[in-house]
């Protein structure tokens, strides 16, 4: 009996020793869910001003308090911005540095974040902002309150236009800003570039918009000015990369003197060029030719392989000089083949129109 009692007491002692250990282990892996911090913003209405694109002054600042998990936890704080009504399906997210509880943005940086939401430029739209607090990928984050802002973003990209006598052989279609070639500034910094094909003696002006409200004329010596009334004159006939700097009031021309042809088994063969003269009315190098779908082709400059253009993958109608793929023909027939250059920051394009 004594032995049985001794064994029973020993078993109870072991059980008591194990219980605290189990409880302690459970505490290490269990979270109470945490209490989110509170978020505030320095403004609720924010029309972003494009003239302050290069101004580093903070135009909006977000402040939030730390999340409380009941113990000292390593918390990752992420500022999330989404369009109203998207229900946080595709927010723009910015991770905030550790133990930092405020985040400010300049005009350029915040405008860029907002543009990622595909909001229309120049129109006031509502966005929502919150902070996600996370302690582990295996634990559901907790979220702050949502702050709603009304913001008006602007497009970074901007254009100027080149109306003039070069536009068309039909005089009634010349000097039309609405259909003129454009020069582009991808960041709106006042420097615009684009390809323009001029005829000999072509004259033109530069307009900031597709109208004649304002225009840059020839101020002499490669200079342009809104107060100059004289027309600008192209250097000579041909395709030029035109660069306009409205900050410095300058214009420069870089000749792009290439002839273009179509070559390949879809036409004749890979040794025979089909010449593509420039069609001024359509602003493209063009040729009408019978093509077969069993073959392929490329475009090349100056009847040589030094510069050639092929398809990008997947096929989009854009061309690349960087190991571009051979171009396929949909079906046998006669096609109007067009090769177009426009914005030098974009790929050249082609079209096949069956006749």
Tens of pLDDT along 84-97?
Answer: 989 999 898 889 98
φ/ψ region of 274 (left if φ > 0, alpha if ψ in -120 to 50, else beta) reads beta
Query: What does the pLDDT read at residue 97?
Result: 86
What top-level class would CATH report for the domain 158-255? mainly beta
Same fold? 39-152, 260-354: yes
Which DSSP helix (H) or strand (E) runs through 193?
strand 191-198
Whether the CB-CB separation of 65 and 104 falls below 8 Å is answered with no
- End-to-end, the C-alpha distance of the chain in Å comes to 110
Domain boundaries, the chain: 39-152, 158-255, 260-354
Instruction: Read off the tokens for 176.
Output: 């039309």
Looking at the domain 39-152, which fold is it? Answer: Immunoglobulin-like (2.60.40)
Best CA proximity match to 241, nearest among 167, 286, 191, 170: 191
Q: Are 319 and 350 in contact (CB under 8 A)?
A: yes
> What pLDDT score was predicted for residue 24?
41
- Confidence at residue 32, expressed as pLDDT on a 0 to 100 scale: 58
Q: Is the peptide bond before 314 cis (omega within 30 degrees of 0)?
A: yes
Reported as a single tens digit per residue, the pLDDT across 174-189 is: 999 998 888 888 767 7
**Tokens 């040589």 correspond to what residue?**
304
Nearest in space to 50 (alpha carbons), one of 185, 188, 184: 188
Which residues lie below 8 Å from residue 16, measured CB to CB, with a gap of 6+? none
- pLDDT on residue 195: 85
**Residues in the chain, total:** 355
- Residues of the chain below pLDDT 50: 1-2, 4-6, 8-30
Q: What is the CATH number assigned to the segment(s) 260-354?
A: 2.60.40.3620
Nearest residue to 303 (alpha-carbon basis) of 337, 251, 261: 261
pLDDT score of 28: 40
Separation between Cα atoms, residue 263 and residue 266, nearest integer Å: 8
């Amino acid at each position: 009996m004594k032995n049985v009692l001794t064994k029973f007491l020993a078993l109870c002692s072991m059980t008591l020793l194990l219980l605290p250990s189990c409880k302690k282990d459970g505490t290490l892996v269990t979270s109470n869910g945490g209490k989110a911090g509170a978020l505030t913003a320095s403004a609720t209405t924010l029309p972003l001003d494009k003239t302050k694109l290069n101004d580093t002054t903070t135009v909006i600042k977000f402040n939030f308090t730390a999340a409380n998990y009941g113990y000292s936890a390593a918390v990752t704080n992420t500022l999330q911005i989404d369009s109203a009504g998207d229900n946080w399906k595709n927010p723009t997210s910015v991770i905030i540095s550790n133990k930092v509880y405020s985040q400010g943005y300049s005009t350029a940086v915040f405008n860029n974040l907002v543009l990622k939401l595909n909001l229309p430029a120049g129109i006031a739209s509502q966005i929502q902002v919150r902070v996600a607090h996370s302690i582990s990928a295996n634990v559901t984050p907790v979220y702050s309150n949502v702050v709603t802002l009304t913001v008006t973003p602007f497009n970074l990209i901007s254009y100027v236009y080149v109306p003039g006598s070069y536009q068309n052989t039909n005089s009634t279609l010349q000097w039309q800003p609405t259909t003129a070639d454009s020069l582009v500034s991808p960041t709106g910094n006042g420097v615009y570039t684009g390809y323009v094909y001029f005829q000999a003696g072509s004259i033109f002006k530069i307009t900031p918009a597709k109208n004649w409200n304002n225009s840059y004329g020839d101020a002499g010596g490669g200079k342009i000015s809104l107060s100059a009334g004289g027309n600008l004159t192209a250097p000579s006939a041909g395709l030029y990369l035109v660069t306009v700097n409205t900050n410095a009031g300058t214009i420069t021309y870089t000749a792009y003197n290439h002839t273009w042809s179509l070559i390949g088994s879809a036409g004749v063969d890979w040794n025979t060029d089909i010449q593509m003269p420039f069609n001024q009315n359509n602003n493209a190098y063009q040729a009408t030719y019978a093509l077969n779908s069993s073959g392929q082709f490329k475009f090349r400059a100056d009847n040589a392989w030094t510069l050639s253009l092929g398809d990008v993958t997947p096929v989009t109608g854009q061309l690349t000089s960087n190991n571009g793929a051979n171009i396929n023909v949909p079906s046998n027939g006669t096609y109007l083949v067009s090769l177009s250059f426009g914005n030098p920051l974009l790929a050249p394009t082609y079209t096949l129109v069956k006749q």
